[in-house]
Structure 1
């Protein structure tokens, strides 16, 4: 089950964190993986690990917020079967503490970046005869998160785009779903904590871990396993859905 043999998958932000875990698992399951990262260096460790496993992988340097770059990259890749829109950046701030430049930067990557990849992907999925799109939303698409105004705005847009794409291309055999993770323990999280809470890192890590009712953060591999299911043929009857993977965050925090 859950084989991706003879499938070609494009994974944005596939060189680190959740994206890297998805890239590794998809390659393990037989997919030809195309990692789209801002720089070749960002993808190198994932490429090396996949090569060591005997998998098929190609990396592409591309700024997802630049439509010309995205279109050129996707045309170079050619017809493929799976797109995982994982690339994104975080931000801390309320509406009145979010400078315009920061808001524009978050929208450029987390919203326009997803749009650019969808815009470029649909013709390639159509050429392949069918396809699957998986967007990375967030629990912030569902519930209020303190000090995450711009990020929450962007992830809400990602969930809405998921529904629109699922509706518009259902008759072309293109499925579109999203995943809404709670906090996932990645090197990005460690860096985020050290940058924003330098004086109480251990305390903040514990606090963020315990904010999930299950008592810990998710592992990237757990999110990758859900991504694999949703992108596999076994999930062929699923489209227009969002899947929280949140340790009970949305429903059990009361």
Structure 2
């Protein structure tokens, strides 16, 4: 029986790139969870046909996750789950209500917890090995002012990744994370488009300065690492957070330069 995968936030950006990457070849099926139905419109005429299934809903909703798992297992042996869904909302403790901050943390951490729980239970019930990849961020270790909820949630995702790897490794389940830097997604392109030409050029110069490779990532480059971590080639890799940030997290600007 062929393998199947679930990708949350699979309609756009990194999520869509992961879905496309996992569909390469003639075997395997992918279920993409997406909150925005419009983000799944491209599935309708995709050449993968029945091997590509969209599920509309919130990845933090256990019923949605269970439905996606059912669809994946109907198509093949569930082999991997990618927790990519994210919400971008800034808040600072001195201006935002505590409840708002906690809600924003939960909005990013919750889908990963639900996805991991659903995948692990399905792997155990089926008696098959499996792999989970959580999408974190360079911000889990390099905080950006004003981004407390996102930073906190992504640090939690990385901690959960390590904890699950230790607990479920003996059961044949691997859990890893990737930590991208800035990525050329629809959201990034939209931000640039919203700027005046001079301002947009300044942003791009700053991004080149922040990434030693001189540019932001392409979604497909992040997807390639995720696909590797899901594959048998990464069969002895678990509990790791892999930076996919063009060197951003190791760059220290020289004040004398």
| TM-score above 0.5 | yes
| Matching residue of 2:37 | 40
From 18, 22, 44, the equivalent of 1:22 is: 18
Unpaired runs of 5+ in structure 1? Answer: none
| Matching residue of 1:60 | 55
From 108, 119, 122, the equivalent of 2:120 is: 122
TM-score for the superposition, normalised by structure 1: 0.87
Deviations 1:67-105 (A, max 9, x none): 333334434543511000001022334432444464244
- Kept in 1, the 8 Å contact 2:138–2:179? The answer is yes
- Kept in 1, the 8 Å contact 2:93–2:101? The answer is no
Shift of 1:188: 1.1
> Within 1, Cα distance between the matches of 2:201 and 2:102?
31
Question: Does 2:9 correspond to 1:10?
Answer: no
Which is greater in Rg? 2
Unpaired runs of 5+ in structure 2? Answer: none
The change in CA–CA distance for 1:101 and 1:43 in structure 2 (over 3 A counts) is farther
- In the alignment of these two chains, the number of paired residues is 247
> Within 1, Cα distance between the matches of 2:89 and 2:240?
26
Shift of 1:109: 2.5
Note the aligned Cα RMSD (angstroms). 2.3
- Kept in 1, the 8 Å contact 2:210–2:251? The answer is no
Deviations 1:117-152 (A, max 9, x none): 112111212215110000001111122323321111
| Matching residue of 1:234 | 233
- Kept in 2, the 8 Å contact 1:27–1:55? The answer is no
